[in-house]
Amino acid sequence: MLKEIRILTDHGKQYIPDLRKQPVSERFRGRPVISEVITREEIEKVAAICPVNAIDRRNGSIDLGRCTFCNECALMLPGTIGFTNDYRIAASRRGDLVVMTGQTEVLRLDETAVRKEIRRLFRRSLKLRQVSAGGDNSCEMELAASCNVNFDLGRFGIEFVASPRHADGIVITGPVTENMSEALEICYKAVPSPKVIILVGTDSISGGLFEGSPALQRGFIDRHPVDLYVPGNPAHPLTFINGVMDLLGL
Amino acid sequence: MNHPSYIELKNGISPIMTTDVPVIEYDIFYEKVRELLIDKSNHCLSYYCYAFAGRLKFICCIADDNTGIIRLLSHEMRPDNTTLKALTPFCPSIHIFEREIHENHGVEFPGHPWLKPVRYPHDRADRMSVMDNYPFYEIESEELHEVGVGPIHAGVIEPGHFRFICNGEKVLHLEIQLGYQHRGIERLFVDKGDALQRCLLAENIAGDTAVGHGLAHAQLIESLAGIEVCEALQIERCIALEMERIAVHIGDTAALSGDVAYQLGQVTCEALRTMVINTTQFWCGNRFGKGLVRPGGSNYPLTEETAGEILKVLEEVERRYENVTGRIYTLPSVLGRFEDIGRVTRPQAESIGVVGMAARSCGIVRDIRRTHPFQYYRNFEINPVTLEAGDVLARGMLRALEVKASAGIIRALIDSWRKTEKSVGRPVYNYKLRPGSFAISLTEGWRGEICHTVVTDSEGNVLHYKVKDPSQHNWMALALAVRNQEISDFPVCNKSFNLSYCGHDL
Ligand code: SF4
C-alpha cells in the first residue's frame, strides 16, 4: 500500500483543469492562416504540391476536411501560409471547415446549425459508440486518450460505450472501407433515435489520402446527416473534446 | 559470390536490376526454400507475386539472421498454369504468404492446410468470396459452442472478427477473420505517382507505427533513387523510432493493467505515455510523429532544444515507469492473471515465423536492428532483450525492459548526434527511381520487423509495391496463445500482442 501511495504522489495531478485553454506545442498544426496578399502563382504552386487537393485553386482557401496537416504548403510559403496551434477547429457544417485567405478569426461552431434536440437530450449525458472503418488507429488512440486521466472527458458525462444500444450516437474514424460499410450501417441502425453522427479525422470527413480508392464505400456518409466534423490527422483529443463541448453547448 | 539459384543483397543498401534476379523452375525454388528455412537462423521476410508481361512473377525474400544477408529467389508462372505445390506443410511460416497469393491471384496451392481468405482486397481474384461467407473452421459436437466477437468490439479499437470454439469456458480454437480495414494501400502506392503522397501513405499504413513504416518507405526510396543521408539524420531517425517504441510499450502497459482492473498501473502509464507523445509533438507537431520522416532530409531536424527536452522527459518517464512496473509485475493479483496465460512456445513461434517483441518474449533473438541493421544502428550495437516464458507476463515485462533499453539507446544516440556535423537538408521529393529495379527495406518497429519492397518498370515508375507489417506473422500467434485458455483471458492475451488490423489489412 505504501508503494502505491508513493507511486500516486509521484504521479501527481495529471488532470487538465481547463480543456478550453490547455496550451499545446507551438509546432502543433491546428487552424491555418493564409495571407490575403497570396498571389495567383503562389496559390498555383501550393495547390500543385498539396497531396490531397485541400487547397482551392480558385481562391487559395484550405479545406480542413481534406487537409492532412502535412505542413508542406506552409513550408513552401513561410509567412504567407502558416498553421497556428489553435486546436479548436471542429465544425457542425462541412462548409465551415474551409478557411479563406485573410481569415484570422477563430473558428467557432455555428450554433444555429445544431439540431435542437441534441442539446436538449444530450447536454448532461452523451454516450457514444466508436466505429473504426478503415482508420489507421491514430484517431482511435486519440479518442481513447480523450477519456484518459489527462483529458478526462468523462467529467462532462461523455463516454464511449460498448453497445450501440446504449449509445446516443456514433463516432466514425477512417475513410469507410467497403469491407466495413455493412457493419457500420448495422451499428448505426442499432442506436436508438434521435442519434448523433460525429466524423473524426480527415479520412472519415473526406476520405483524405484514400479518396477515390476502389476499396472504399462511402455511401453511409452521403446518406446520413452529420452533426460534427472533427478534422486532423489524427484529430487531437482537444479538438475532439472542444468540438463536442461546443456541440452540446457546454 | 552469387549462387545461381538466388541473388544476395542487404537491407536498404543495394537495389538490384530485376534482370539480374535468377528465375528458377518452381521445383528448384520449392526445394531451395525448404532447404533454407530448415535453418532456424533463416526466416521468410516476404513472398508474393505480381503480374508482368502476361506472367506472374514470384519473389521470395529470405533473411539470414547470422550474416545479415537477404536471399532473393524468384520463379515465374505462365497463365495456363494455376497450381503450385504448397510449401506450407513443410514451412508453416509461409502459410500467410501462400494464402495471400491465392487470394490476390487465384493461384491454387494443393496441400495447403489453411488456404483461407486473408483480407478480401478490392482486387481479389474471386469476387464471390465475401466477408460474409468466410469458411470458418467448425467442429461437430453437442458439447461445444461457438462465440463470435466483432467486427466492432467493446472498446475504441479497430475492427476484426474473432470466432471461438469453446468447451464450457475453455477455448479450443480461435479463428481470426480480418480485412475490414482494407483501404487498398499497396495499389495506391502504384497509382499515386507523387512523392509526398507516398510518404503520407506509408505513415498511415498503421498510425501507431508512423515512424516505423515511414522510415521503411524513406529508406526504400533513398536506396532506389541513390540518395545518401548524413549521419545526423540517421541518428535522428533512430531516436524517433525508439521514442515510438517507448510510447506504445508504455501505452500497452496501461492497457494490460486496465484489463485486470489494476487502475493505478493504468492511469500512471496513460499519463507517462502522454508525456512521451507530447515530446514527439514538441519535436514535429504531431503526437504520432507523422511528418517526421521524409526521404533525403527532414522538415524537423533535431535541435539542441528538442534533444534537451527529450532527455529531460525520458529521465522522468524512465524513473516513474520503472517504479510503477516494479509494482505491477510483483503484485500477486496481477501475476495471477498474467503468469502462464496465453503461452506461445518457442518451437511454435519458430514454426509460424513470429517476429519482433512477441518472438523475443519466447527466447528468439529476432530484431532487425541487430541482424539487418539500418540507419545509425549500423554503427551501434543493439543487444535485444529476450525472455523465455512466452506468456502474457513475458510480453508485458519485455515491454518494461525494452522501454529501459530504448531510453539508454536514445541517450547514447543523442551523445553521438551532438558530436556529428549537422547538415540535414530539406526532404527530397523530386527523385527519380532507378528503372527496372528491385529494392527492399527493413526496419524494426515496436511490434517487429517491417518490410517494404518495390519493383520499378523500365521508366522508373513504381510497378509493384509490397508492404509487410509484423502483424501479418503474429496474428496466428494470438490464435495459438488462447488455445486451452479461459475465454475470459482473451482480452489480456490480445492486449499483450497488440497487433495491427490496418497494418495487416492494408
Ligand atoms: S498542410 Fe494541408 S493544405 Fe497544406 S499541403 Fe498539406 S494537406 Fe495540403
Shortest-distance atom of ligand 1 to CA A74: 4
Only one residue has cell 469507410, namely: A176
Does residue A71 contact residue A46 with C-beta atoms inside 8 Å?
A: no
Residue B155 is classified by DSSP as S
DSSP-assigned letters across all residues of B253-290 = HHHHHHHTT-HHHHHHHHHHHHHHHHHHHHHHS-TT-T
Looking at ligand 1, which residue's alpha carbon is closest to its atom 6? A70
Please state the pTM of the whole predicted model. 0.95
Distances (CA, A) of B416 to B101, B403, B421, B445: 44, 20, 10, 22
Only one residue has cell 477512417, namely: A174
CA torsion angle B470 B473 B475 B480 (round to 10)? -140
Q: Which of A16-25, B264-273, B372-381 has the lowest mean pLDDT?
A: A16-25
- Residues in contact with ligand 1 (CB, 6 Å cut-off): A 50-52, 54-55, 62, 67-73
* C-alpha of residue B288 to centroid of ligand 1, in Å: 18
Q: Place A16 in a pLDDT band, splitting at 50, 70 and 90.
A: confident
Task: Report the alpha-carbon distance of residue B336 to residue A4 in Å, rounded.
Answer: 19
Indicate the burial class of A205 (C-beta count within 10 angstroms; 0-12, 13-18, 19 or more): buried
Mean predicted confidence (pLDDT) in B268-289: 95
Q: What are phi and psi of B228, to 5 degrees?
A: -95, 140
Instruction: Parse chain B into domains and list their residue ranges.
Output: 1-118, 197-470
pLDDT digits (tens, 9 = 90+) for B447-464: 999 999 999 999 999 999
Kindly report the average pLDDT of chain A as a whole number. 92
Model confidence at B216: pLDDT above 90 = yes
Model confidence at A33: pLDDT above 70 = yes
DSSP-assigned letters across all residues of A163-186 = -GGG-SEEEEESS-BHHHHHHHHH
Residue B108 is classified by DSSP as B
pLDDT digits (tens, 9 = 90+) for A171-187: 999 999 999 999 999 99
Chain A contact set for B197 (CB, 8 A): 51, 209
Distances (CA, A) of B219 to A84, A144, A245, B228: 31, 32, 43, 10
Chain A nearest-CA distance from B384, in A, is 27
pLDDT at B470: 96
Identify any residues that bridge with B176 across adjacent strands, giving them in sequence order.
B162
Question: Which of B397, B385, B369 shows the shortest CA–CA distance to B241?
Answer: B369
Residue B84's SS3 state is: coil
Mean predicted confidence (pLDDT) in B239-256: 96
Q: Which of A95-109, A130-144, B400-414 has the lowest mean pLDDT?
A: A95-109
Q: Place B1 in a pLDDT band, splitting at 50, 70 and 90.
A: very low
Chain B contact set for A179 (CB, 8 A): 120, 131, 179-182, 505
Task: Report the alpha-carbon distance of residue B466 to residue B482 in Å, rounded.
Answer: 30
Task: Report the alpha-carbon distance of residue B182 to residue B120 in Å, rounded.
Answer: 8
DSSP-assigned letters across all residues of B430-456 = S--PPTTEEEEEEEE-SSSEEEEEEEE
* C-alpha of residue A59 to centroid of ligand 1, in Å: 15
pLDDT at B80: 80
pLDDT digits (tens, 9 = 90+) for B54-65: 899 999 999 999
Q: Place B476 in a pLDDT band, splitting at 50, 70 and 90.
A: very high
Only one residue has cell 502459410, namely: B95
Residue B379's SS3 state is: helix
Chain B contact set for A162 (CB, 8 A): 154-155
CA torsion angle A4 A5 A7 A9 (round to 10)? 160
Residue B478's SS3 state is: helix
Q: Are residues B323 and A143, on separate chains, in Cβ contact within 8 Å?
A: no
Instruction: Parse chain A into domains and list their residue ranges.
Output: 111-248
In this complex, the residue of B120, B200, B251 whose CB is nearest that of residue A70 is: B200
Task: Report the alpha-carbon distance of residue B180 to residue B153 in Å, rounded.
Answer: 13
Question: Which of A226, A177, A233 shows the shortest CA–CA distance to A199?
Answer: A226
Say if B1-118 and B197-470 have the same CATH topology.
Answer: no
Q: Place B3 in a pLDDT band, splitting at 50, 70 and 90.
A: low
ipTM above 0.90, yes or no: yes
* C-alpha of residue B432 to centroid of ligand 1, in Å: 23
Kindly report the average pLDDT of chain B as a whole number. 93
The percent of residues in chain A predicted with pLDDT above 70, rounded, is 100
pLDDT at B357: 95
Return the C-alpha cell found at A195: 442519434
Q: Place A2 in a pLDDT band, splitting at 50, 70 and 90.
A: confident
In this complex, the residue of A138, A182, A214 whose CB is nearest that of residue B208 is: A138
CATH of domain B1-118: 3.30.460.80
Q: Is the Cα dihedral B314, B315, B318, B320 positive or negative?
A: negative
pLDDT at B2: 46
Q: Which long-range contacts (CB under 8 A, 24 or more apart) does B48-56 make?
A: B48/B97, B48/B100, B48/B101, B48/B104, B48/B466, B49/B77, B49/B101, B49/B104, B49/B105, B49/B107, B50/B455, B50/B463, B50/B464, B51/B105, B52/B463, B52/B464, B54/B78, B54/B79, B55/B79, B56/B105, B56/B107
Residues 6 or more apart whose CB falls under 8 angstroms from that of B488 comprise B169
Which residue among A27, A38, A52 has the greatest number of ligand 1 atoms within 8 angstroms of its CB, and so is best to mutate? Answer: A52
Which residue among A35, A55, A100 has the greatest number of ligand 1 atoms within 8 angstroms of its CB, and so is best to mutate? Answer: A55
Does residue B267 contact residue B293 with C-beta atoms inside 8 Å?
A: no
Helix axes B231-259, B490-497, angle to 10 degrees: 170
Indicate the burial class of B336 (C-beta count within 10 angstroms; 0-12, 13-18, 19 or more): exposed
Q: Place B380 in a pLDDT band, splitting at 50, 70 and 90.
A: confident
Distances (CA, A) of B164 to B167, B190, B256: 10, 38, 21
Residues 6 or more apart whose CB falls under 8 angstroms from that of A39 comprise none
pLDDT at B440: 95
Task: Report the alpha-carbon distance of residue B28 to residue B13 in Å, rounded.
Answer: 28
Return the C-alpha cell found at B285: 507537431
Return the C-alpha cell found at B258: 486496465
Task: Report the alpha-carbon distance of residue B68 to residue B62 in Å, rounded.
Answer: 10
| Helices (H), ranges, chain A | 2-11, 40-49, 72-76, 116-122, 138-146, 178-190, 202-206, 219-223, 237-248
Query: How many angstroms from the chain centroid is the CA of residue B458?
Result: 30
Question: Which of B401, B371, B368 shows the shortest CA–CA distance to B387?
Answer: B401
Does residue B320 contact residue B313 with C-beta atoms inside 8 Å?
A: no
pLDDT digits (tens, 9 = 90+) for B309-357: 999 999 999 999 999 999 999 999 999 999 999 999 999 999 999 999 9
Task: Report the alpha-carbon distance of residue A164 to residue A187 in Å, rounded.
Answer: 6
Return the C-alpha cell found at B98: 501462400
Task: Report the alpha-carbon distance of residue B424 to residue B300 in Å, rounded.
Answer: 9
Domain B197-470 in CATH 1.10.645.10: yes
Chain B nearest-CA distance from A127, in A, is 13
pLDDT digits (tens, 9 = 90+) for B102-130: 999 999 999 999 999 999 999 999 888 88
Does residue A104 contact residue A33 with C-beta atoms inside 8 Å?
A: yes
In this complex, the residue of B159, B251, B286 whose CB is nearest that of residue A132 is: B159
Task: Report the alpha-carbon distance of residue A89 to residue A109 in Å, rounded.
Answer: 8
Model confidence at A240: pLDDT above 60 = yes
Model confidence at B81: pLDDT above 90 = no
Match domain A111-248 to its CATH number in 3.50.50.60, 3.40.50.12280, 3.40.50.880, 3.40.190.10.
Answer: 3.40.50.12280
In this complex, the residue of A83, A136, A183 whose CB is nearest that of residue B502 is: A136
Which helix (DSSP H) or strand (DSSP E) does residue B225 occupy? helix B210-225
The percent of residues in chain B predicted with pLDDT above 70, rounded, is 99
Chain B contact set for A10 (CB, 8 A): 320, 323
pLDDT digits (tens, 9 = 90+) for B166-187: 999 999 999 999 999 999 999 9
